[in-house]
Amino acid sequence: MLEAAGLTSVEETVYRLLVITPKASADEISAQTGLGREEVEGILAALTVKGLVISGDESPPHFTAAPPDVALLPHLQRRADALEQSRAAIADLLESYRSTRRQDAGHVIEVITGAEALRQHLRRLQDNARHEMLWFCKAQYVAMPSGSNRAEFDALARGVRYRVLYERAFFDDDGAVDNVISGVRAGELARSVPHLPLRLAVADRETAICPLVPGGPYGSPGEPTTALLRDSSLLEALTALFERYWEDAVPLHVSASGTIVGPDDTENTEVLRETDRRVLSLLVAGIADKAIASQMGLSRRTVQRRIQHMMALVGAGTRMQLAWHAARRGWL
């Protein structure tokens, strides 16, 4: 237990004995530990050098333990300082490594061929994640059937944050709903959108896996060809794409009855924010986005984003459908 303080297991045994014994000779220590006398003398000499044991003047000499806080804490502090220096050196080396290879396409993009290789890389990606995983989950799995991604639960258990976006068709897959329920109950943050542009997994914003071309090598059917992306502008773009979809997605929760529900699955109607209600009323009145933005003191982009958010809430594909759903839910 005290290896971090620089003690071997036998040195720790002798030191612990002296901590609970006022003083003891080499023979007495040998008798109580079962170690040979010569071995005990060597251990006592090493402990003396380390400042953990004090030798008396009597003959034969008796030994006493130095106070643990005085004897051990400085050793631990020196090791902690050395460890911190090593971490800083490793961080510098990692940055140098990445800087050297940013122009190397072979380092930035690694091609993964086949479902089994993809499964292994996805598991490794999650096993190595330290902070956060981002996912685009489309319908009809390629490598991992619903319920088979146990690496997610291991990562959630050690504190990795999961944000997962599901397209609506995903829930038609066998076992998909139960899988999402299990993930949300384990701590996953889940949201839904009508459609996702691609499959995607991003670990710590440093590494991503996404489709490269449809099909397998040379277009053979059944074997996916994907890309492992490292620190690059392409990875930053994919991460930004995730955040853009996440912003307008519908949060999913598990109800008391054990079903997946969105914020509009209430007994009556979805309670809109006042800003959304005003945007909706002006939209239905036929006012253009630019005029709505001017009248409400918002940017045109914000107005369009809020309209897209309300369309996603009700599953509307057009603004006319949004108006119909809004009237049906009593939003107007």
The Cα–Cα gap between 274 and 271 comes to: 9
Between these two residues, 87 and 167, which has the higher pLDDT value?
Answer: 167
pTM: 0.51
Average pLDDT over every residue of 95-102: 61
Mean pLDDT of the chain: 81
Residue type present at position 204: D
Q: How confident is the model at residue 103 (pLDDT cuts 50, 70, 90)?
A: low
Residues 302-311: tens digit of each pLDDT: 899 889 888 8
Domains, the chain, with CATH or none: 1-101 (1.10.10.10), 105-261 (3.30.870.10), 274-329 (1.10.10.10)
What is the spatial distance between Cα 27 and Cα 30, in angstroms, rounded to a whole number?
5
pLDDT at 330 over 80: no
Q: Name 64's bridge partners.
A: 54
For residue 216, pLDDT over 80 is answered with: no
Give 324 or 221, the one with higher predicted confidence.
Answer: 324
How does residue 268 score in pLDDT terms, banded at 50, 70 and 90? very low
Query: What confidence tens digit (pLDDT) does each residue in 16-50 have?
Result: 888 888 888 888 888 888 889 888 889 888 888 88
Beta carbons within 8 Å of 174's beta carbon, 6+ residues apart: 146
Alpha-carbon distances, residue 185 vs 43, 153, 188, 258, 260 (angstroms): 53, 10, 7, 10, 11
The pLDDT of residue 238: 93
Task: Tell me the residue type at 118.
Answer: L
Cα–Cα distance measured from residue 311 to residue 233, given in angstroms and rounded to the nearest whole number = 31
Look at residue 21 in the predicted model and tell me its pLDDT.
85
Q: Is the pLDDT assigned to residue 256 strictly greater than 70?
A: no
pLDDT band at 62 (very low <50, low <70, confident <90, very high): confident
Instruction: For residue 158, count CB atoms less than 10 angstroms from its CB and return exposed for 0-12, middle for 13-18, buried for 19 or more.
Output: exposed
Q: Give the per-residue pLDDT at 32.
A: 84
Q: Among the listed ranges 49-58, 188-197, 249-258, 291-300, which one has the minimum average pLDDT value?
A: 249-258
Q: Predicted confidence band at 222 (pLDDT cuts at 50, 70, 90)? A: low
- Could you tell me the pLDDT band of residue 267, with boundaries at 50, 70 and 90? very low
Identify which of 53-57, 149-153, 172-176, 325-329 has the greatest average pLDDT: 149-153
Most confidently modeled of 136-145, 190-199, 209-218, 308-317?
A: 190-199
Rounded to an integer, the average pLDDT of 280-284 is 85
pLDDT of residue 58: 81
Between the ranges 192-206, 208-222, 271-285, where is the mean pLDDT highest? 192-206
pLDDT class of 134 with cuts at 50, 70, 90: very high
